[in-house]
Chain A
């Protein structure tokens, strides 16, 4: 109800502005991590709906697409030189750090949107981690380190200007998910931007789950660890015996 009121209020406030909405779909809403999973490709495509012609002097349309993994807390440690050797000293908990973050845009981010919105909507690598309200000293350095380390691991990325936008209406982009993906509920957020303001947004969920043998082993390991541990040992002993036997026969024959 509240939302409808808000929407109505927005309509009243901008009576003559043409309304734009965005529709988006993905080539897959579900990523299955099987034993041979080696990364996957998600094709994101969408269209802009307009209920009337745009007023004179409206700036060009830009699109930003963010795909993000579940938010988690990361314990980040910093090394310092003590007594001649490098040891972990300070440690900080960085909250709301997504396990995965990638952003694709039609243009350089700085030219598209004002800084306040970039931060508030977590658009861009610099704002992937949201340490707001975390008063700890030097948290920025630790948050930046998480971004840097995950960027090196291929988990965080930013690619500006790679979305194809046709006639300010149709857009599409290919997004690569890396092989070292972690399970969870991912989201794809899509923003339409004009004159440095967000004019429309939508989001779609992506489920990332282990499948097949992977999920069986994972569940066994967590639900009946004793069985799992004993099975692992049995496999080890059988393999050890098997190799020894095979070599003995090879030597004889």
Chain B
């Protein structure tokens, strides 16, 4: 069944969109990532204009993250204090990111920057997580192996220390704010929630326990993507409400199923699965840059 999208101005199959929303929503629930890094490129591939795909995806992520975070609240696996601090940084970063995005769009290089950032970040993070999880699984196999002791790094020497009860941390607020800003910038440029960068940053840079990472990531993603949605709606008029409703119908159901699957998986399995997915998407995008495209020309938005 075809449905015409009022802002995207294209007709698409309703069931394809519902299925996509469900699948990506499920991943979002399992891994605590918004799923934007999968959905945005797929939407563009099925013919949604990139500007609409990026903006609408932000709106959909709000729904699936909200649905997911409610389940985490019930299990008390959200560090609200940490989430709010990350969010503050995220809003600043998103504002900067949207401006960079607009500038690059005007000179026609946004596509390159988006793809390059995807390849670099997905590659780095995917690779790191993959190796780390493999080691963790191997260690777990040996009896008597001791878990690594928490290292005392420069992060612990910074001022403005505060206690994050849910995470069991006593660290400075500076690293979370910086992480928030950096992820916010990248999220706005890449048109995603940024969970796939946020989750590893929380684990490896802030040293948060895996249990609270997913819920806290979802919690702050809601605010940052809600802000991104509003900016896009007001500056570019590119949020397609019909597309968003279809995607989120599939997405919220998927997220609920995903959250339940996520509880059953072990942290190492979770990480190695996410790493595999991240690396796959990275490889696909890298090939797009390296191989000669079948069509060398593209039509951008012109003066209407």
Count of B residues near A, CB < 8 Å? 59
Q: Tell me if A182 and B9 are in contact (CB < 8 A).
A: yes
Which residues does chain A contribute within 8 Å of B249, judged by CB atoms?
239
Q: A74-B299, A229-B229, A229-B234 are in contact. Are A236 and B10 (CB under 8 A)?
A: no
- Least CB distance, A178 to chain B, in whole angstroms: 8
Q: Tell me if B252 and A239 are in contact (CB < 8 A).
A: yes
Q: Tell me if A179 and B2 are in contact (CB < 8 A).
A: yes
Q: Tell me if B299 and A229 are in contact (CB < 8 A).
A: no
Within 8 A of B (CB), among A210-229: 210, 213-215, 217-218, 221-222, 225-226, 228-229
Which residues does chain A contribute within 8 Å of B66, judged by CB atoms?
236-237, 240-241, 244
Q: Tell me if B112 and A88 are in contact (CB < 8 A).
A: yes
Q: Which residue of B lies closest to A85 (CB)?
A: B289
Q: Which residue of B lies closest to A34 (CB)?
A: B4
Q: Tell me if B298 and A88 are in contact (CB < 8 A).
A: yes
Q: Tell me if A221 and B241 are in contact (CB < 8 A).
A: yes
Which residues does chain B contribute within 8 Å of A233, judged by CB atoms?
59, 62, 226, 229-230
**Residue B146 CB within 8 A of the other chain:** no
Q: How far is the CA of A237 from the CA of B41 in the complex (A)?
A: 24
Q: A180-B10, A241-B70 are in contact. Are A230 and B60 (CB under 8 A)?
A: no
Count of A residues near B, CB < 8 Å? 63
Which residues does chain B contribute within 8 Å of A93, judged by CB atoms?
302
- Least CB distance, B4 to chain A, in whole angstroms: 4
Cβ-defined partner of B4 (8 Å) among A79, A179, A231: A179
Q: Tell me if A243 and B242 are in contact (CB < 8 A).
A: no
Q: Which residue of B lies closest to A184 (CB)?
A: B304
Q: Tell me if B2 and A244 are in contact (CB < 8 A).
A: no
Q: How far is the CA of A180 from the CA of B18 in the complex (A)?
A: 19
Q: How far is the CA of A93 from the CA of B299 in the complex (A)?
A: 10
Which residues does chain B contribute within 8 Å of A230, judged by CB atoms?
230
Q: Which residue of A lies closest to B62 (CB)?
A: A236
Q: Tell me if A225 and B298 are in contact (CB < 8 A).
A: no
Which residues does chain B contribute within 8 Å of A240, judged by CB atoms?
62-68, 70, 248, 252, 255
